[in-house]
A and B are shown apart, each in its own frame.
Chain A
Amino acid sequence: MAVAVAVLRHLAPLGPRIPPHGCAGGRLLQHRRGLRLSAAAAIQVTVRDALNQALDEELERDERVFLLGEEVAQYDGAYKISRGLWKKYGDKRVIDTPISEMGFAGIAVGAAMAGLRPVCEFMTFNFSMQAIDQVINSAAKTCYMSAGLIGVPIVFRGPNGASAGVAAQHSQCFAAWYGHCPGLKVVSPWSAEDAKGLLKAAIRDDNPVVMLENELLYGVPFEMSEQAQSKDFVIPIGKAKIEKQGTHITLVSHSRLVGHCLEAASVLAKEGVECEVINMRTIRPMDIEAVEASIMKTNHLITVEGGWPQFGVGAEICARIMEGPAFNYLDAPAVRVTGTDVPMPYAKNLEDNSVPQVKDIIFAVKKVLNV
């Protein structure tokens, strides 16, 4: 019976064909699903500018919001994310801190407990390890320990994961570490719209939110719809997005590697393999239902992430799929594509082979589909 069903599924007509978009060099265009939206008012915005806009809009909207971190004020931000904000809002709202992660993260959490809405920047999430006690034990757990008496409306944000040539101590991905803890919300944007919508949602959320950005994406332009340009555009935390519809296999990813998945999908489309690409957007709470719905359609799953394999985001997705209704729809074991299980090396050839490349994703797809 199951075999018959499987055969029938393969004979079913393929889903709506989406015209593949070319990906030239480093420029990635946002893929659309379904009908083409009116592109008339859409503009190209880099992730950096999208984050800057989000911060500017939220600082303006709510005077309890303020930004603190190293170099965020007079330097305009180590990666220029907060460019122009100190000039516009002044010392009270944009605060340069000394190099004291544990101290200033704790100060930010205390300020949140007392009614402010801080955005605490870590220059990279590698440095958040020095402050991780404040993020977990002070921020994440306090609402629970106080039985709801004390909320902590704070955002911890900054670049996460691999960059380029910065070596082992500056390249770790913390999605699995923060995603592990109840009481936190963890988001991981890919496109400019993701960055803007998720940061605004994070700032408006009454809970501690860890926002894992990616340094290599900061300079990348994406198409931003007219709707996304609005000052009230927020993306709901906890909802994944289908970046490209497909029927043969589901690729689930977050952050920069969503782009890699889309590139792999466009190469594979030329060979007749239609991949469905899901952008998780949120690590916790995870939208596993979106993945399940996709698997029930495609019957195959590959997770793609930059972090290490052991206890990673992909491992969690696979475990949850095992436990849920989608397991019975899998025609092959779920597969993970991850960073290589090694501290990040420096030499370019070694570094290139320490993070998933498009060819690694394509190889995995062909293995899973046995083509």
Chain B
Amino acid sequence: MRKMLLAVLSRVLQSPAAAAAAAKPASRVMVASRNYADFANEATFEIKKCDLHRLEEGPSTTTVMTREEGLKYYKTMQSIRRMELKADQLYKQKIIRGFCHLYDGQEACCVGIEAAIKPTDHVITAYRAHGFTYTRGVPIREILTELTGRKGGCAKGKGGSMHMYAKNFYGGNGIVGAQVPLGAGIALACKYFGKNEICMALYGDGAANQGQIFETFNMAALWKLPCIFVCENNRYGMGTSVERAAASTDYYRRGDFIPGLRVDGMDVLCVREATKFAAEHCRSGKGPIVMELQTYRYHGHSMSDPGISYRTREEIQEVRSKSDPITLLKDRMVNNNLASIEELKDIDVAVRNETEEAAQFATTDPEPPLEELCHHIYFNEPPFEVRGPNQWIKYKSGS
């Protein structure tokens, strides 16, 4: 009798989950009691070889990822994915207005880049900037609150979707291509100050045809600026496919005299290795380098573009099923014993909760006070009067 009782007791104590929900399959019970010591610390992965331009050697085709790194990349990419989908939802509810360019599908780009550079390095990108804003340290809550135009937003509601900034992150730029010369200028400052920092200047396949980018290539090469020019090629510049916009779609070669690499932008490890390679190239004083990341956006160009008039639903579906960056990482981790599906699901739940909380804050935070309308026109300036819509309405400008 006692033995039977003890047996029942031990079974109950061992797996309370199983006792509570008898409908759960047996394998679940086993995993719930699995120890984290059962996972591998790291694993080695084969990654796609990069196409090279004016380079004898490229990034390594194998790389080691630790369990810790994998979990971090997974959580970060999943956070960006959830955040962008939440933004989609809020936009459709008309809580977010104006322009909203979503990054879902391209998560491996910003996460892979951030994994290979330092917080003291610099990043500047165009308007599809929410992912980078997050990886450069701005919490989801401040990003969503900026999108909803409230005072708790990372730019206090002054900037909106296209104008988010952080330390060593210069936006968020609305004029296509203008951020590329800015990035080279930041790189010039890096070289000037001599602290071995570099700048990542990102642009899209559409922007790649801007004249100012070629002017920048020339000066960056001439002056050996430590700038990595990153073309996020997601195959469409708004509604125009690359074939219809560019006489040469080999964006990694468009720097001509600047060496270049073409990278699988859906694989976070590939992006990481390529960025490490490119960063080393710049830091060693060799000058600029071009990196083309082949990636894909699930959403249309912006929230006002359904994204299916210039591409097929089948194409979108195919990328989702075969090349999704988060799925790729998840499969890699599970298949190499770096994490369990449950553990990753727990991360999903945590991310979902964080996003929900952030959205809740973003929808309830008050709008910026009208008194602050004219603040920050100038930097470090004593207050002055600003004319309103008529001569009797005056605002005070603070800094």
**A113-144 with Cβ < 8 A to chain B:** 113-116, 133-134, 137-138, 142-144
Mark the stretch among A33-41, A96-104, A268-276 that contacts chain B.
Answer: A96-104
Residues A110 and B384 in contact, CB atoms below 8 Å apart: no
Asked if A348 is an interface residue, CB under 8 A from chain B, the answer is no
Size category, A interface: 35 or more
Asked if A152 is an interface residue, CB under 8 A from chain B, the answer is yes
A102-B215, A106-B212, A138-B178 known; A145 vs B124 contact (CB < 8 Å): no
**B373-388 with Cβ < 8 A to chain A:** 375-381, 384, 386
Asked if A212 is an interface residue, CB under 8 A from chain B, the answer is no
**B158-175 with Cβ < 8 A to chain A:** 158-159, 163, 165-166, 170-175
In the complex, what distance in Å separates the CA atom of A98 from the CA atom of B159? Answer: 33
- Nearest chain A residue, comparing its CB with the CB of B168: A114
- Nearest chain A residue, comparing its CB with the CB of B163: A145
A110-B183, A148-B399 known; A98 vs B219 contact (CB < 8 Å): yes
4 nearest A-B pairs in the assembled complex, by CB-CB distance = A110-B185, A106-B181, A103-B215, A151-B379
Asked if B278 is an interface residue, CB under 8 A from chain A, the answer is no
Mark the stretch among B187-195, B284-292, B295-303, B339-347 that contacts chain A.
Answer: B187-195
Asked if A309 is an interface residue, CB under 8 A from chain B, the answer is no
Interface string of A192-208 (1 = CB under 8 A from B): 00000000000000110
- Nearest chain B residue, comparing its CB with the CB of A106: B181
**Residues of chain A with a CB closer than 8 A to B124's CB:** 110
- Nearest chain B residue, comparing its CB with the CB of A92: B192
Residues B218 and A110 in contact, CB atoms below 8 Å apart: no
Asked if A278 is an interface residue, CB under 8 A from chain B, the answer is no
**Residues of chain B with a CB closer than 8 A to A137's CB:** 174-175, 178
Residues A133 and B185 in contact, CB atoms below 8 Å apart: no
**Residues of chain A with a CB closer than 8 A to B110's CB:** none
**Residues of chain B with a CB closer than 8 A to A112's CB:** 185
Contact of B193 among A106, A115, A142, A323 (CB under 8 A): A115
**Residues of chain B with a CB closer than 8 A to A148's CB:** 375-376, 379, 399
Sample of 24 A–B contacts (CB below 8 Å): A103-B219, A104-B215, A106-B184, A106-B185, A107-B184, A107-B185, A109-B182, A109-B185, A110-B184, A110-B186, A113-B186, A114-B170, A134-B182, A137-B178, A138-B182, A143-B376, A145-B163, A146-B158, A146-B165, A147-B155, A147-B376, A148-B379, A148-B399, A207-B380
- Nearest chain B residue, comparing its CB with the CB of A103: B215
Residues B211 and A207 in contact, CB atoms below 8 Å apart: no
Contact of B163 among A102, A106, A146 (CB under 8 A): A146
Binding site for A on B (CB under 8 A): 122, 124, 155-159, 163, 165-166, 170-175, 178, 180-190, 192-193, 199, 211-212, 215-216, 218-219, 222-223, 375-381, 384, 386, 391, 399
Residues A133 and B175 in contact, CB atoms below 8 Å apart: yes
In the complex, what distance in Å separates the CA atom of A115 from the CA atom of B181? Answer: 16
Residues A102 and B171 in contact, CB atoms below 8 Å apart: no
Contact of B379 among A97, A116, A145, A207 (CB under 8 A): A207
Residues A147 and B181 in contact, CB atoms below 8 Å apart: no
Residues A106 and B189 in contact, CB atoms below 8 Å apart: no
Interface string of A80-109 (1 = CB under 8 A from B): 000000000000100101101011111111
A148-B376, A150-B165, A150-B170 known; A114 vs B189 contact (CB < 8 Å): yes
Query: Within the complex, what minimum Cβ distance (angstroms) separates B37 from chain A?
Result: 44
**Residues of chain A with a CB closer than 8 A to B122's CB:** 114
